[in-house]
Structure 1
Amino acid sequence: MMLPCLLTRVAFRTPPPMIHIRLLLCLVFASASSLAQTPPSAVANSNEGARSLWEEFMTRMQTDYLEPVDEIALTRKAVDILAAENPAFSSLPKPRDYGTTPEACRSAFHQYVVAFAFKAGRRMDATAVVELAIQRLCERHLRFAQYIPASTQAELATLGKANLGMRIEVSENGRFYCQPFAGEAAALAGIEAGDELIALDGVPVEGMNRWKLKVKLYGTDGSKAEVRVRQTTGRIITAELIRRINNGLRVTATSGISGTTIRIPLFDGNTLSDLRAALQTVRPGSPLTLDLRGNGGGEIPPAVDTAALFIDGPRPLLLCKQQRRGQPDVDLSSNEAMMPGFKRLNVLMDGGTASSAELFISILTEAPALRVALSGTRTYGKDIWLEGATLKNGGGELYLPMGNMVTTGGKRWTNGIEPTTFGMKK
């Protein structure tokens, strides 16, 4: 915290040289003491904690990341990221030699981190510098990896439950795209799926961390926020939205002359029971549409169990596999009973449909007795699965892509799933 500095003006008619010297010494001493206000023990603990945090991160990268990692190349990227973070740090000498072993490379990086923290002064300690490096690497270089610092986790834990009637998708280039909930504030204001969020409450979101953005999106019921988006046509919309507590992430069903549409916004612990209840309301023989637009995925087991509701066959029903580098495949099956009467499905999807939602669609299209029409636009293309762990040396949460998902028929969707029509998949 910055403390106010109180200045006392002292007037000297003709100050003698000795007073000038004393004033200079006092100023030098004050500057030095301000840099040394942090106890040496605290600095040492931070430095050691920073070293341990980076080693833990790199160990997890080597053992868990879905692709082999070149530690020296990744460390160089981390140094480049830190150097570019602020112009004030660009002049800080980078390591000349990273060595040929992990130990030498980590030692070189640690020396740079300590120098960076010293230059940052009170703003950052060594552990915070390492957390920044990890966070930026996940955002810019490690595909689908995420890191949530402990400080941000504390903010997320106190979030209000009211939202702006939409979910935000983050693209690989760090841009934010809106996925409005039908009938909620964002959709009613004219915001459409795929519109790019460019400002919130007058503050540009470009370069903002996704978790910091989430903190700003949520709030108390009835609070307001000004949202500015760029539509695919290039048109800019600015709208004042009211936060409401809603069922945006629960399964909902609407029926009409053209049949029943069931919207599945996410796969979580509620999805299976919600969908089963919704299917019980569908009239026999009525056309059924499953709306997965904007469904960014969620948990894998609920997606597998939910798909099993539409597929006949002996239980347990083997539907897909999880693959991981250097390890045998893990079979994923379901014991959920099929709900009869649904032989033809129409699935709505778009660029916000991703991950376990794509797995769900792929499983359905492989079922021999189902005829599935895929309507809309190509899906996102995320056929990997992530796993999270708390880094014990830093307290932050690290999510890494561990491997690929594949259906029992060998189907993957690295480049997304294309729309089809009835009969075209067989």
Structure 2
Amino acid sequence: MNAKQSILLGVIVGLFLALAFAFGFISNDLLETASASANEPAAVTNYGLLAETQNLIDQVYLREQPSPDVREYAAIRGILSTLEDPNTYFIEPPVAQSEADVLAGTYGGIGVQVQLSEDGRLLLFPFADSPAITAGIEDGDELIAINGADITFSLGPDAIDQMLRGEVKKGSGVEITVQHANSDMPETFFIEFAVINVPSVTWRVLTENEEIGYVQILRFTNRTPDELEDALTGLLDSDISALILDLRNNTGGLLPESVAVANQFIDGGTITYEMRKNSERALDAEPGGLATDIPLVILVNHSTASAAELVAGALLDYERGILIGQKTYGKGTVQQIFLLSDGSSVHITAAEWLTPNKNRIDGVGITPTIEMIPDENGRDVELGEGIRYLSEDLAESVN
């Protein structure tokens, strides 16, 4: 295989890995070697036809053959493809990275989250201990300009977020102009780039109604339960009376951590049923969650998948809150990861999970209580609807 072919193969497999993790649902105690994979013996087959075919190729094939490992990898992919399961796949050694590394989430930038408000303003929310917060950026600051150029919502939050990132080296950074909520004049900052460890949970008290807290879970990592506990503690210390849980664009992650997240909102009972080849297991909530009684709205969309769907499905079945947004992705399986002897790995679908009411999610998704069409300009209409719903609920509870 020449250098160009190797690079192309690496890119293709790398993209496949990224897509696989994009809608992944992984049990972090299932990363193991193939030799220790099962108590039951595997079905024995010598794949005689493969050996016959290879023998014929060796005898008569005109041109040079690919290396043995390339042919073996192709055979593995062929066997897995017969299962017709897109979540069961093979990864070559150069890109067989651990889930911990994939979920770590680091980049060079100033460490802010960009959100487009319902009224079309671009708002900044700095991460804790980030260069942005050190420079003086505050939650809800309106972004006016980047490097002297005016910014409008038509660019979209994702494109603007990329403009606030860059290579970490001496003197590198970005100049931004913001409008503080409590100030009449815009203020300009030059903020140097640093390595940003992306949190899996962000939170704040909503300025639209300070009785309502907002928690966004971006992904389910091994840090998520602790980060969520810190967020809920901070919000409850701020005397909020209701909560919005944002699971939009959360494409999954670790199974035990998603169960731990649901624990914070459900006071006992089964969170999910895990269905394996020869067994069924109920994963139950532990009493003592911080937010088991507070009025709750959950935001979802088409990219809410896997672990995020587990949490949304449990909260919906227990009638802990309503779902607002669009139908979820529909990924309800768990992949078990086996490391092979050469450093490659095989991800094999080993379980399917069901909601507490034993509703199936895989290939189906979850239909929200209030379905909404996304705003074509990117305004956050789902968050706005959630604020209105909870504000009316709080007003009724007072009367």
The TM-score bracket by the shorter chain reads 0.5 to 0.7
1:127 lines up with 2:69 in the alignment? yes
Report the equivalent of 2:107. 162
Structure 1 unaligned segments of length 5 or more: list them: 4-55, 72-100, 167-180, 196-217, 225-241
Q: Aligned residue for 1:237?
A: none
CA contact (8 A) 1:113 1:129 kept: no
User: 1:13-412 maps to which residues of 2 (within 5 A)?
Assistant: 103-108=47-52, 110-111=54-55, 119-121=63-65, 124-135=66-77, 141-153=84-96, 161-162=106-107, 190=155, 221=168, 245-256=195-206, 257-258=208-209, 259-282=212-235, 283-313=238-268, 317-325=269-277, 327-335=278-286, 337-340=288-291, 342-368=293-319, 370=320, 372-392=321-341, 394-412=342-360
Residues 116/358 of structure 1: CA separation in 2 closer, same or farther (3 Å cut): farther
Matched residue type, 2:204:
T
Specify the code of the residue in structure 1 equivalent to 2:90. Y
Displacement, 1:261? 1.5
TM-score normalised to structure 2 length:
0.55
User: 1:365, CA displacement in angstroms?
Assistant: 1.1
Alpha-carbon distance in 1 for matches of 2:241, 2:61: 65
Larger radius of gyration: 1
With over 3 angstroms needed to count, the CA separation of the structure-2 counterparts of 1:292 and 1:130, relative to structure 1, is same
Please give the per-residue CA displacement for 1:238-290, whole angstroms capped at 9, x wherever unaligned. xxxx9964343421102222322211011121111111110112244533111
Q: Residue type matched to 1:347 in 2?
A: I
Q: Which amino acid aligns with 1:277?
A: D
Give CA deviations for 1:129-178 in whole Å, capped at 9, x if unaligned.
22245457768953212322112237997999426999xxxxxxxxxxxx
Shift in Å, 1:102: 5.5
The 3-state SS of whatever aligns with 1:365 is helix
1:408 Cα shift?
3.1
Alpha carbons of 1:161 and 1:118: their partners in 2 closer, same or farther (altered >3 Å)? farther
Instruction: Give 1:162's aligned amino acid.
Output: Y
The Cα of 1:390 is off from its aligned counterpart by 0.6
The whole-number CA distance in structure 1 between the counterparts of 2:96 and 2:355 is 34
CA distance in 1, matches of 2:303, 2:80: 20
Q: Higher relative CO (CA 8 A, sep ≥ 6), structure 1 or 2? A: 2
Aligned amino acid, residue 328 of structure 1: S
Give the TM-score of the pair, scaled to structure 1: 0.52
What is the alpha-carbon root mean square deviation over aligned residues? 4.8
Identity %: 21
Query: For residues 285 and 183 of structure 1, do their structure 2 counterparts lie closer, same or farther at Cα, with a shift above 3 Å needed?
Result: closer
Q: In 2, Cα distance between the equivalents of 1:359 and 1:335?
A: 16
Q: Deviations over 1:199-253 (max 9, x none)?
A: xxxxxxxxxxxxxxxxxxx9963699xxxxxxxxxxxxxxxxx996434342110
Aligned residue identity for 1:396: S
How far apart in 2 are the matches of 1:143 and 1:289? 33
Deviates more, 1:339-348 or 1:403-412: 339-348
Displacement after TM superposition at 1:419 (Å): 1.6
- In the alignment, structure 2 segments of 5+ residues that lack a partner are 4-32, 113-123, 128-145, 147-151, 160-164, 173-191, 371-388, 391-399
Number of equivalent positions: 271
